[in-house]
Amino acid sequence: MSRAVITEAGYGDYFTSPVKSFPANGCGLFEPPGWGADSEGAGPSGHLTSSSRPDVGPEHLSSRGRHLITTTGHGARAPSSSARFTAPVLPELCVATGARLRISTSWRDRDRTSLLSSDNVGPMPIEIPAAEGTAEALVARPSTTTGPVPGVILYMDAFGLRPRIQEMAQRIADWGYVVLAPNVFYRDGSIAELAPAVDMSTQEGREAAGKAAFPRVGRLTPDKALADINAWVSALAGLDGVAPGPIGTTGYCMGARLAVRSATSRPDVVAACGGFHGGGLATDEPDSPHVKLGNARARFVFGHADHDRSMAPDAVARLGEALQTAGLEATNEIYAGAPHGYTMADTSVFNPEATERHFQELRALLDATLKG
> For 92-119, what is the mean pLDDT?
39
pLDDT at 143: 84
Instruction: Report whether pLDDT(134) > 70.
Output: yes
- pLDDT above 90 (res 348): yes
Q: In a 3-state reduction of DSSP, which class is residue 329?
A: coil
CA distances 52 to 62, 75, 76, 77, 95, Å, are: 18, 9, 10, 9, 21
Q: What is the pTM of this model?
A: 0.72
**Which residue ranges form the domains of the chain, and what is each CATH number?**
27-110 (no CATH), 122-371 (3.40.50.1820)
Which of 9-18, 37-46, 90-99, 178-187: highest mean pLDDT? 178-187
Rounded Cα distance, 173 and 141, in Å: 5
* Interaxial angle between packed helices 222-237 and 254-265, expressed in degrees from 0 to 180 and rounded to the nearest 10: 70
In this prediction, residue 146 carries a pLDDT of 76
Which whole number is the average pLDDT over 67-96?
Answer: 39
Q: What local confidence, expressed as pLDDT, does residue 124 receive?
A: 85
pLDDT in tens, 194-241: 999 899 999 999 999 999 999 999 999 999 999 999 999 999 999 999
Distance between CA atoms of residues 332 and 59, nearest Å? 46
How distant, in Å, are the alpha carbons of 13, 38, 121, 122 from that of 167?
A: 28, 24, 10, 8
Q: Are 213 and 173 within 8 A, CB to CB? A: no
pLDDT at residue 299 greater than cutoff 70: yes
How much is the pLDDT for 17? 29
Distance CA 329, CA 153 (A): 20
- pLDDT, residue 92, reads 44
pLDDT tens digits, one per residue of 108-132: 333 323 323 334 456 888 999 999 9
H or E, element range at 170: helix 163-173
Comparing CA positions, the residue from 246, 259, 253 lying closest to residue 293 is: 259
Confidence of residue 268 (pLDDT cuts 50, 70, 90): very high
Q: What is the DSSP letter of 338?
A: P
The model's pLDDT over 18-50, given as tens digits with 9 standing for 90+, comes to 333 333 334 444 554 444 433 333 333 322 222
